[in-house]
Structure 1
Amino acid sequence: MLRQAAKAQASETSLIKSVLQRAFSLIGTPYRYGGSSPDAGFDCSGLVGYVFRTIGIDLPRVSRAMASEGVKVATRDALTEGDLVFFGKRGHIDHVGIYIGDGKFLHAPSSGRDVTISSLTTGYWAQKYLEARRVAINS
């Protein structure tokens, strides 16, 4: 049993490393509404969906639907690398990114901006944070 748990944890760690490597390779890709590929550009959910598909995890196309996937992360303090972080106002999700650790996340922010890293602990995005989900886990 212990050996299986260690293998599962190693597999999960490998998946998360793959997610982060792929996500980091896309920094600087232009934002494009409805975009879901490096050639066309990305919107927020297109970026997240593309990155997770590379490790065999299919997610819904829009951020609101992605927020129903995986397991809810109880608090910001419980976030781990690879978690999906969701943003919006008045409980309405309208943005998603990938948590990369150290209070930061990677995302496709908006028209005229490229895929980038932003702070989850201060500023604009900290105020819009709503919840997080863990999808890169073994079932």
Structure 2
Amino acid sequence: MIEENIYFDELATKRAVGQKIREFRLSRGVSRLKLGILIGVSDHQIMKYELGQDNVSASILWKICSVLRCPVDSFFILPETGPIGSEPPGCEPACLDDQAVLAAFRQISPPEVRQRVARLILTLAAQGADAEADGPEV
């Protein structure tokens, strides 16, 4: 009885991790081939990870996160406690809201509206960066 639950959880985990890899890869505009070359595996192997057909080793997951500049802990969100783990240098901590916003953004239709929203976000982000560069207001 317990062994069946462990198998189910393992399969669900492989699929969830694979889906996250795909989401991060696509959001960064990186092909399977390019990601595979950068981490030292074939594009077919990347596909198997993304489909949840193969386990992703810790070292491969770390390489993927380093290349895609995504936090390792985003692959291990516990509902009760939130994110666990750490991320490679240069990555921001995971935020559950980030994933929800990205998923909602991808559902915006038509594409022209999605482009306008993207431009608005980039403009607001640039304004925020400019404000930080200018220093605090006195």
Tell me if both proteins adopt one fold, taking TM over 0.5 as the criterion: no
What TM-score, normalized to structure 1?
A: 0.27
Higher helix fraction: Structure 1 or Structure 2? 2
What TM-score, normalized to structure 2?
A: 0.28
Higher RCO (Cα < 8 Å, 6 or more apart): 1
Higher strand fraction: Structure 1 or Structure 2? 1
